[in-house]
Structure 1
Amino acid sequence: MGGRFVILSAGMGAGHHAVAGELAHRLTGRGHQVATLDVLDLLPAGTGAALRGFYATTVRHAPALYDAIYRAYFAPRPPSGTGRPQPGPNDTSPVVAPAAKELRRRLAGAPPDAVIATFHLAAQVSGRLREAGALSCPSAVVLTDFAVHRQWLHPGNDLHLCPTRETAEEIGRLGGRGAQAVGPVVPAAFRTAPPPSRTAVFARRFAAGAPGRTPVLLSAGAWGVASHLARTAALLRDGGYLPVVMCGRSRSLRRRIGRVPGTVALGWVADVPALMAAAGALVENAAGQTAAQALAAGLPVVSYRPIPGHGAAGARRMAAAGLSGHARDPADLLRVLDGLTRDGPAREARIAAGRALFRADAAEIITAAVRPAATAPPV
């Protein structure tokens, strides 16, 4: 008989929901029941929408303000006299407390076998309930960021499943329990080559627009947030590439990019594995789910003009771990792409490093941590 799992995600872009959806897919495939909740919906009426809107507005229009907020409330404190970085106070109780109260109410009638957080505020909520004894089941945190920030950490949580070994080591240094490197959580479709018929749909379109040019994907996330993306597309075009811009759900961005000659502007793409298989590299700015998918797909990743806060921190961590390039200026971007889009040792090494991340199945580890009845295979 299968168990019951509750996943806490958040509609901040599409990445956290994508991870939650993949975890739910894996768990239900094992015969378990899964309920997914948006932690923003647990807040008092209007509060979650206000937080989402504030985040989107500051990232788009006031990046310096968002960077200051990230440094003050998210980034670990400088090392103490012991040489260990300090997590510092989480400073989120005004938001966490009402969300935790509402989650406790919703779980009262049917306690789950485990709660899984795929967003940092959700990790604070589950950790608070677990520490207070109001949550009797294990609480797992699945980190979606390559760079650790302190909002992912709460001493009440039992497991911290991390995308890289370096992330897991830092979680452990900061006091997080059960830190393990399992790799990013992405659908299996990214780790296997798609049928040629699917890839050909994109390849034909690219060849028709710019024969002989290597397509390079530019990602701006689900919300289409990027700095000077049209300028970057023109730079790649003039450098001999075919810029293929993934505009997400932003119609205004797609219109703007559509006016840049020699580029391809895409809206929301359903078959991203086939799109990646038809490209030579990915240029991204958030170190988020699209970057993780590219690493699984064997598509070299370059970070350029990352969004402030977690995006810039993640870009630095990915590059330091040998997973991606981090271009500092236009000339550097073209130089890095020139090395990664050509067949050879540099490209092969980067692809191998990305694929080596995927060490274990987060869903399997979580089910192993709960009571035996929840881990028993379906009859």
Structure 2
Amino acid sequence: MLDPQAREAETLSSTEAHSSEPRVLLVTERTLGEGHRSAARALAEAFRRLVPGLSPVIATTLPAHVEWVFNAVYGHTLTKNPALWGAAYETELWTGPLMKPIVSNPMRRNVRRLVARYKPHIVLATHALPVHAFARMRKRGAPYVFGVAITDFGGNSFWTDKYVDAFFVANEEIGRRIAARYRLPEERFVPTGIPIHPVFAAGEEERRRRREEKRRALGIGEEPLILLFGGGEGLFDFPSLIHALDKLTLPFSLLVLTGRNTFLWETLRTLRGSLRHKLFPYGFLEDPQEIFDIYLAGDLLISKAGGLTVSEALAVGLPMVLHRPIPGQESRNTDYLLEKEAALYAPRPDILVRTVEFLLREPERRRELAERARSLGRPDAALRIARHMLTLYAQSRKPAQTSP
């Protein structure tokens, strides 16, 4: 029987999985942060929109005890010694090939069970850890097309394997870089964008309407709305940062997402009465439409540089100030956005406050950042990825051409 911990809550029953053609298996993991799972949910919705009646399965592969150890070590490293994680990331070119078989070994049994149970035609990974195990099965002749959606503006060796049929990347430039670094065929890298929920592909008229409705619901007038994200992992001292921003005399309101950090959410609720600026604390949000509306209502985003968060902000053209990115994947995301002049970087709280003050005083600079962000946005990325995988599946079903 499949380990219950090897399945996401969104996973559908095996009966449903077998009732539609093609059968789609989306694999992710419950590691810290929501980005990888959000990408899987976005892709599931994209497949459903393209093929009505399709029931994609979302599953995880790490056994429960391995998942707990991984998250404990990862979380401790990020909070106590983030530079160590950054150093590990920088050496992955030569350590990755050694570590991939070791890391993937605990999940191989669950991978075999998933494939045996759901008999997928399409497997699509939104997390790096299961890639090697599914690629090994592909090497041994497993009859599915295998895609990998890389959820950052860069990659590492855990995302890559020569038995992957298609890699979906943020853009052509990123694809070329990863292909060259890991000596993979460039034609396998498809510049779709990072998969965000299809609601972000709404037209301009609907976006304007939803922005007005959300701001009206919040009771916001003409003052800028600052969004503060990244509280779920507890890597920011949000209360201190909010007090520092509240000292600014310029008018603005502040909306904070605390994710699954209920202690932080309660703390901010009690803090509201002592601030001169309006504060709207939100906990974990599951409705992608509500998340989209919050982005639309905002005028400036302060956040870490998670691949999904950044991609959602780019899709709506939201100016960003990046603060305390995780060394490794998020520092590479930061470097890319700074290179494209699509965001500003504030490494310390005092610099962050000064940067926010500058942008509040200079709406034209905010507009410039918004235009650059919008030019990089790929709001329809999930739909493009799903469409490409369906095409690969259709091609795999065609009978092989034989010579006369």
Report TM bin, short chain: 0.7 to 0.9
Identical counterparts, % of pairs: 20
Identify the residue that residue 161 of structure 1 maps to in structure 2.
168
Cα deviation, residue 117, structure 1: 0.6
**Cα 1:304–1:203 shift into 2, 3 Å:** farther
Q: Is 1:264 aligned with 2:280?
A: yes
TM-score normalised per structure 1: 0.82
Q: Is 1:111 aligned with 2:131?
A: no
Note if contact 2:359-2:366 (Cα within 8 Å) is conserved in structure 1.
no
**Cα 1:348–1:118 shift into 2, 3 Å:** closer
Identify the residue that residue 17 of structure 1 maps to in structure 2.
37
CA distance in 1, matches of 2:24, 2:200: 25
**Cα 1:358–1:4 shift into 2, 3 Å:** closer
Identify the residue that residue 205 of structure 1 maps to in structure 2.
218
Identify the residue that residue 235 of structure 2 maps to in structure 1.
226
- Show structure 1 runs of 5+ residues with no match: 78-86
* Structure 1 residue identity aligned to 2:133: V
Cα deviation, residue 100, structure 1: 2.5
**Cα 1:369–1:227 shift into 2, 3 Å:** same
CA distance in 2, matches of 1:357, 1:35: 23
**Which structure has the highest helix share of the two?**
2
Note if contact 1:90-1:151 (Cα within 8 Å) is conserved in structure 2.
no
For residues 319-330 of structure 1, the aligned pairs below 5 Å read: 319-328=338-347, 329-330=351-352
For residues 1-379 of structure 1, the aligned pairs below 5 Å read: 2-12=21-31, 13-29=33-49, 30-31=51-52, 32-40=54-62, 43=63, 45-72=64-91, 74=92, 76=93, 89-108=97-116, 110-131=118-139, 133-173=140-180, 174-177=182-185, 178-192=188-202, 193-194=206-207, 196=209, 199-205=212-218, 207=220, 213-220=223-230, 223-239=232-248, 240=250, 241-258=252-269, 259=271, 261=275, 262=277, 263-269=279-285, 270=287, 271-328=290-347, 329-330=351-352, 333-334=355-356, 337-338=359-360, 341-342=363-364, 346-355=368-377, 361-372=384-395
CA distance in 1, matches of 2:172, 2:357: 28
**Cα 1:267–1:92 shift into 2, 3 Å:** same
Cα deviation, residue 346, structure 1: 0.9
Identify the residue that residue 80 of structure 1 maps to in structure 2.
none
TM-score normalised per structure 2: 0.78
Cα deviation, residue 321, structure 1: 3.2
Note if contact 2:318-2:370 (Cα within 8 Å) is conserved in structure 1.
no
* Structure 2 residue identity aligned to 1:123: V
Other structure's SS at 1:144 match: coil
Aligned residues: 356
Cα deviation, residue 39, structure 1: 2.2
**Cα 1:344–1:314 shift into 2, 3 Å:** closer
**C-alpha RMSD over aligned residues:** 3.0
Cα deviation, residue 195, structure 1: 7.2
Other structure's SS at 2:99 match: coil
CA distance in 2, matches of 1:313, 1:126: 26
* Structure 1 residue identity aligned to 2:284: W
Instruction: Give CA deviations for 1:317-366 in whole Å, capped at 9, x if unaligned.
Output: 22223433323433662366348754875145224323367577100011
Cα deviation, residue 153, structure 1: 1.2
Other structure's SS at 1:89 match: helix
**Cα 1:367–1:156 shift into 2, 3 Å:** same
Other structure's SS at 1:286 match: coil
Runs of 4+ in 1 over 6 A off after TM superposition: none
CA distance in 1, matches of 2:365, 2:343: 16
CA distance in 1, matches of 2:159, 2:263: 33
* Structure 2 residue identity aligned to 1:272: I
Cα deviation, residue 116, structure 1: 0.7
Instruction: Give CA deviations for 1:50-78 in whole Å, capped at 9, x if unaligned.
Output: 21232233223432333333334x4x46x
**Cα 1:335–1:114 shift into 2, 3 Å:** same
Instruction: Give CA deviations for 1:167-193 in whole Å, capped at 9, x if unaligned.
Output: 211121122340111012112222324
